[in-house]
Every structure is written in structure tokens, then in C-alpha cells.
Amino acid sequence: MPALAVLLQQRSCPRDATDTGMAGSGHAVVDIDDAAADEAAKTLLAPVPYVLCFADLSYSVKKGGGLAGCCLAPRASSRLVASEDAPPPSGSSRRAKTLLDGVSGEACAGELLAVMGASGSGKSTLLDALAGRIARESLRGSVTLNGEPLHGRRLRAISAHVMQDDLLYPMLTVRETLRFAAEFRLPRALSQEKKRARVDALIDQLGLSRAADTIIGDEGHRGVSGGERRRVSIGTDIINDPILLFLDEPTSGLDLASAFMVVQVLRRIAQSGSVVIMTIHQPSARILGILDRLLLLSRGRTVYAGTPAGLNPFFAEFGAPIPGNENPAEFALDAIRELERQPDGAAALADFCTKWHNTSAVDKESKLMCTMPLELAIAESVSRGKLVAGSGSGSALSGTVPTFANPAWMEVWVLIKRSFMNTARMPELIAMRLGTIMVTGFILATIFWRLDDTPKGVQELLGFFAMAMSTMFYVCADALPVFVQERHIYHRETAHNAYRRISYGLANAVVAFPPLVLLSLAFALITFWAVGLAGGASSFLFFVLIILASFWAGSGFVTLLSAVVPHVMLGYTVVVAILAYFLLFSGFFINRDRIPEYWTWFHYLSLVKYPYQAVLQNEFGVASRCFSRGVEMFDGSPIGRLPETVKLRVLDAISATLGTNVTANTCITTGADILAQQAVTDIGRWKCLLVTVAWGFVFRALFYVVLLVGSKNKRR
């Protein structure tokens, strides 16, 4: 029940329930299943008014430079650079381009506000500004909800932002995509049936019934149509019935009927007590009929703010009356376009708009008078089913809205499920990886077929190990595009608290692991016996473990890199270069004791060093083995080319000189000698295994840090 004070406040408010259109609507989108039953109860409750006010929003960017936005004084001074074509003033603002120029207005719960204007007029920029996607230091002006500044956690928890481009998992069906969205955004306390019913109702409302079991698709896989994808995108963001909803061109790419359907759904969300702001290019007369409020922009300035019906008197007073048979929105946009062709753009209309607002009595009465404090309003909304996350967990925000709908373990579980489902539908990817590793294993097995215990065999074995261990890391490079592609979805989902960043980091690690086991086993089975490695079953097991550890470290390394580099191609360049350095410093090309001292630190950083050293110890650690006997010690030297009998005589001479009996069968080089020669005795094989595994964890931890501090998906 709402607090008494709140109810009293509601009673004294002149904008009553009928006025906002909320009285009889209830939560049509959320409680579709039992909307009728709740209807009567809800009409008894006072609406929860929200007023989102934005005042003098100004935002500019440096021309050419892209980023580095700076603020300009609102209106009066910034008008100097309001037009791109206007001669730039001197000084630092010479290269500044103003995208928003003192835009003010308000949007109320219960009303659907449409931002209109020509392409490039700043609609998306305004939406970004309102949705907190522009860095605070770059944006001038204020955005408040019920008089309280709006940013950070609170904004993320109660809002959703549907952007112009659709980012979805390509191999999931429409229904699955929405189900996963429901799993993330709806609380665990809500039963599976309710969640399912919510998804089904949404599918129905968005007109997606026929495409419900079709995959989303991408360039390589035929999937749903562009318009359907648009609607799925909207569905994933409105699933939890947010209090603030921003949509960038939700209707573009849709035919008239679907566009109307979408706008109707949005209007219903607004009427259920949300603030809904969308941008729209060219609304049809039918759509215009159900919009509550319009905000027209031209080059970042407001040229009209008011109801659709107000367009007629506004333009009539401006001196350009709208002909009776014309779509007023179309006429207005044409008129603005016409004005923009003139040297001072639509400045005259913008000035007229300011005057018109100052003189007319429209909206003079501040709506803030009718609102209640934000915390109370949110609590009230949640109690009526808004946000559908009322019983979730996570650090409570203002005591009413949980920051996240579900506990972390649940998020990890759902993320894992989604990722497995998406990759399981692309078996060609895992087949490619397996194929690569098997072909490499096969080539290595045939080249290094059954190596013997001779000095030559030892040299070849060292080559095999170095090649095999670096292959593990190179094969991991295929993990690079995974996050580079996925991170846009990740940024969008975490921007509105679908899940915690740590959940994503954990799920990413868990999902990456199982294929590595398969790859390790495949490689070890193909090479271990074919090359003739020693030590039997226990040695084989260690071989599998060290390969698995290498894969683990390598995939961690590549995943970290994928979060840091902006493009896949750049990522590959960096991966290949760094892996080459790792191999160079691994101890294979140059032993540890021969590496210049000032480079020793890099030897210890080399990821290849540890598995390489571990497999050498695994192979040469068997005490009874001998790798060079009697005259074999001359192999590779000028004496090696002499006849056998001569070599035996040299051996006798050596025996006589040393005073020991060195025969043709005496073991000259043991495994321990080789390990010492290769300078790989500083760390034992199990420790090497541990270090390799630890590297994998370190990289994953760093990946999480990058996720945490990385791009906040904001414009600067």
C-alpha cells in the first residue's frame, strides 16, 4: 500500500489519473496474463507520476577529432557555432561542432514523447544525453527525474535504452533470446511459468508469433527479417517493464502496420506508468495520432515542443499554416528541411518556438508539483509490478530497487547456458579448432615418428616439444574474435544491469574450458605414442595436463587481449608478435644461462617456458634412460665421420687418459645431463604445471579488471 502522505500528495495534484491516461490501463505489458483480474484493483490506486526534466542540454565535439567533447555555454553564446555552416569564431571553439544546443523539455509518465527531426539533427545524441550515455563532464545542462539528478546506478537500475542497431546472439531463436532476457532481468522469485508467459505475451504483442522459433541469424546464417530483429531487440529491453525507456528509432525498417504495433506497445508501457521517449523519422498519420508529445530538433536546437495537435496553431502563428489534408508531422519536417537550406538554418523557427512557449499558457503549471519524491515513487512503482525485479537480490538501491534482478550464481548459470546454446549451434567452429589441432598433431607425429634415444633423436625431441608447446598458444588465437564480437552485446547488457560484470568474466572462463579438454586429449593421443615419448601412462597423463594448462593460459591470454584491442586484425598482429617473443625466450632457441642478464625477466614471463620445461622434465627425468653411448658421443663432430674401428680406438685412448673403462656400451649422456645442458632444472615439472595454470587465472582476473574499468559505453 502507498504511504498515506503519498496518497494525500496525489490527491492534491491537478494532473489526475485521467489526465495522464494511466487510470484504467494498469500494467498491460507486464501482467498480461492477469491484467484483467488486476484491473479493478489498479484503478483504485493513484498513478505514480514521474517527470523527467531536461534543461539547457548542450553538447559539442571537436570537429575531425571525433572525441574530446567540450561544453559550450547554453543558447546565447553557443548560437555562434550552432550551425556547422556558420563561420567559426576564433579560439579553441573553432573546431567545435555543436550537436545539442540548449535543448530543454520534459517527459511525463503516461505519455509517449517522440523526438523528431531530419537525419543528423541530434535525435540520437539527445537520447544518449538523457540515458546517461554521455560523460557528465562533456554534457552541459541538467537531467532530473522528479527533481532529482539522474545518473549512475540509479539510472541504470530503472532504465532501458534500445539503440539504433540490433545486437543479438545470431544462433538463438527469437523465443530463446527473449527467454534469456527474461532470465536476466526478471527475478528468480518469479516462477518459470510466469516468465514464460511474459515472454509469450511479449512475442504476441510485438507481432513475432510467426518468427518465434526462427534463429536471429547473421551474414552467414539466414534468420529473421530486419524488422523482426528490430522488434526482438525492443523486446529484450522492455521485458522487465522499466520506469524510463529510451528507444532510438524503434520503428525504422518496419512496415506501417508493424511500426504502428510497436508504437502501440510503447504507448501501453507509458500508460502503465513509465516515461517513454523515442526518436522517430517520419511517423504516419496513425502513429502521430497516438503520440502524446513531440519534440522537433533542427541542428541540435528545439524547433517545436508540444502535442501533435499543437502543430497546427504553432505553424499557423509562425506564418506557415499546415494545409488540412497534410500529415502535420510530414509538413513540419518538410518546412524545417526547407528552412535548413537557408544560411541561418531554422534559427528563426527555434527562436519563434522559445517565444511561443514563453507567451502561451501551455504547460506553464510545473508538473513537478504533482510528483512525489523519487524514492517513494520508485518504491510505489515496484510494488505495482514495475521493473518486475522487486524481490531480486543485489545491493539494494534506495532500499527499493535492487541493482540486479538475480544473484550472481544465477547470472553465471544463465550466461553459460546461453553461450553453450549459441556455440552448440555453430559446430563448425569447434570442428575447425579440433581439425587444426589434429592436423598439427598428425604432421608432428609423422615428422617426429618414433624418435630414438640418440643424440640426434634428442635434438629432434627438443624441436618437437618447442613446436608442440607453442602450437597450443597459437591455436588459442581463435578465441580472439569471440569477445571482440560479443563485447558490444556485453556493454549494452551491463549498461542496464542485466548482470554483473564478474558474472560475465566467470561464465566466459567456464564456457571456454570444456573444448580445451577435448583439444588436449586429441593432441596428446595423436602425438604421445607416435613420437615415442617415454614414461607410460603417468607420463601421458602429465602430458595431457600440461597441454591443457597451456591451452588454459593461452586462452586466458588471448581473451584478455581481446578485451584490450579495438579490432580483431590488430589483435591477431599483437598475439602473433607476443607469442613469437615467448617462444624466443622460452629456452629452446637459447638456454636460460645464455640469455643476456637484462632479458632474464622476460624469460620468466614467457608463457612457453613453463610447459616446455615441464615436458622436458617429464621426458628426460627417467633415470635409467641413456641418450648417447660409447662412440655416439662423436656424432656431429669430425670424428663422427671416421670408420667405426677408428672411433673405438679413440674411445680406448680416452679410457686410458681418464683412467676409466669407457666401452661402446658405456652411457655418456643421461636424461639428467640433457636437462642440465638445456638449463631447465630451475623449476620442477609440477611447479611448472602450477605456474602455467596460475597464468591462466591471472589473465582471467586481468580480463575482469578490464571489463570493470574498460569502456563504459559512453560518449566523451
Ligand X SMILES: Nc1ncnc2c1ncn2[C@@H]1O[C@H](COP(=O)(O)OP(=O)(O)OP(=O)(O)O)[C@@H](O)[C@H]1O
Stretch that binds Mg ion, among 120-128, 447-455, 489-497, 582-590 (CB under 5 A): 120-128
Q: Which is nearer to ligand X, 67 or 257 (CB)?
A: 67
Residue 121: contacted member of ligand X, Mg ion, none (CB under 5 to 8 Å, by partner type): ligand X
Question: What is the nearest approach in angstroms of ligand X to the Cβ of residue 302?
Answer: 13
Q: Are 147 and 368 in contact (CB under 8 A)?
A: yes
Q: Are 296 and 117 in contact (CB under 8 A)?
A: yes
Site string for ligand X, 85-104 (x = CB under 6 A): ------------x-x-----
Site string for Mg ion, 34-73 (x = CB under 5 A): ----------------------------------------
Question: What is the nearest approach in angstroms of Mg ion to the Cβ of residue 229?
Answer: 17
Q: Which is nearer to Mg ion, 249 or 380 (CB)?
A: 249
Torsions phi, psi for 173 (to 5 deg): -80, 170
Q: Pick from 24, 66, 152, 226: which binds ligand X (CB under 6 A)?
A: 66
Our finding on whether 139 is near ligand X (CB under 6 A) is no
Residue of 563, 402, 380 whose CA lies nearest to 498: 402
Looking only at the bridges linking them, the beta strands covering 112-117 and 96-108 are unpaired
Q: Which is nearer to ligand X, 124 or 520 (CB)?
A: 124
Stretch that binds ligand X, among 113-121, 143-151, 181-189, 305-313 (CB under 6 A): 113-121
For residue 48, the tally of other CB atoms under 10 A from its CB is: 29
Cell numbers given for 67: 572525441
Q: Which residue has the cell 567545435?
A: 96
Q: Which is nearer to Mg ion, 124 or 628 (CB)?
A: 124
* DSSP category for residue 147: T
Question: What is the nearest approach in angstroms of Mg ion to the Cβ of residue 467?
Answer: 52
Our finding on whether 251 is near Mg ion (CB under 5 A) is no
Q: Pick from 60, 78, 124, 271: which binds Mg ion (CB under 5 A)?
A: 124
Query: C-alpha 691: how far from its chain's center?
Result: 30
Our finding on whether 61 is near ligand X (CB under 6 A) is yes
SS3 labels along 466-481 = HHHHHHHHHHHHHHHH
Stretch that binds ligand X, among 119-127, 202-210, 342-350, 547-555 (CB under 6 A): 119-127
Q: Pick from 15, 123, 198, 700: which binds ligand X (CB under 6 A)?
A: 123
Q: Are 244 and 275 in contact (CB under 8 A)?
A: yes
Question: What is the nearest approach in angstroms of Mg ion to the Cβ of residue 115?
Answer: 9
Stretch that binds ligand X, among 8-16, 114-122, 364-372, 448-456 (CB under 6 A): 114-122
Our finding on whether 122 is near ligand X (CB under 6 A) is yes
Q: Which is nearer to ligand X, 63 or 94 (CB)?
A: 63
Tell me the residue ranges of DSSP E strands in 598-714: 626-629, 667-670
Q: Which is nearer to ligand X, 96 or 157 (CB)?
A: 96
- % helix, strand, coil for the chain, step of 5: 55, 10, 35
Cell numbers given for 688: 611448472
Q: Collect contacts of 500-506 with beta carbons under 8 A, ≥24 apart.
A: 500/394, 500/404, 500/408, 500/411, 501/704, 501/707, 501/708, 502/408, 502/704, 503/408, 503/411, 503/412, 503/415, 504/415, 504/707, 505/700, 505/703, 505/704, 505/707, 506/412
Question: 256-271 and 226-238 helices cross at what angle (nearest 10)?
Answer: 10
Residue of 420, 575, 435, 419 whose CA lies nearest to 518: 435
Q: Pick from 102, 117, 273, 441: which binds ligand X (CB under 6 A)?
A: 117
Our finding on whether 121 is near ligand X (CB under 6 A) is yes
Q: Are 239 and 76 in contact (CB under 8 A)?
A: no
Stretch that binds Mg ion, among 118-126, 440-448, 508-516, 600-608 (CB under 5 A): 118-126
Question: What is the nearest approach in angstroms of Mg ion to the Cβ of residue 153?
Answer: 27
In a 3-state reduction of DSSP, which class is residue 276?
strand
Q: Is 114 exposed, middle or buried (0-12, 13-18, 19+ CB in 10 A)?
A: buried
Stretch that binds ligand X, among 85-93, 122-130, 322-330, 565-573 (CB under 6 A): 122-130
Q: Collect contacts of 330-338 with beta carbons under 8 A, ≥24 apart.
A: 330/282, 332/116, 332/296, 332/304, 333/116, 333/117, 333/118, 333/282, 333/296, 336/117, 336/118, 336/296, 336/298, 336/303, 337/118
Question: What is the nearest approach in angstroms of ligand X to the Cβ of residue 65?
Answer: 7
Question: What is the nearest approach in angstroms of Mg ion to the Cβ of residue 603?
Answer: 53
Question: What is the nearest approach in angstroms of ligand X to the Cβ of residue 78?
Answer: 14
Q: How many residues bind ligand X (CB under 6 A)?
A: 13
Question: What is the nearest approach in angstroms of ligand X to the Cβ of residue 482?
Answer: 28
Residue 310: contacted member of Mg ion, ligand X, none (CB under 5 to 8 Å, by partner type): none
Question: 226-238 and 192-205 helices cross at what angle (nearest 10)?
Answer: 140
Q: Which is nearer to Mg ion, 247 or 472 (CB)?
A: 247
Residue of 419, 417, 416, 411 whose CA lies nearest to 171: 419
Stretch that binds ligand X, among 118-126, 369-377, 552-560, 668-676 (CB under 6 A): 118-126
Name residues contacting ligand X, limited to 398-437 (CB under 6 A).
none
Q: Which is nearer to ligand X, 28 or 99 (CB)?
A: 99
Q: Pick from 12, 119, 191, 665: which binds ligand X (CB under 6 A)?
A: 119
Our finding on whether 121 is near Mg ion (CB under 5 A) is no
Longest Cα–Cα distance in the chain:
121
Tell me the residue ranges of DSSP E strands in 109-208: 112-117, 140-145, 148-149, 159-162
Our finding on whether 125 is near Mg ion (CB under 5 A) is no
Amino acid occupying residue 281: H
Stretch that binds ligand X, among 33-41, 87-95, 115-123, 170-178 (CB under 6 A): 115-123
Site residues (CB under 6 A) for ligand X? 61, 63, 66, 97, 99, 117, 119-125
Site residues (CB under 5 A) for Mg ion? 124
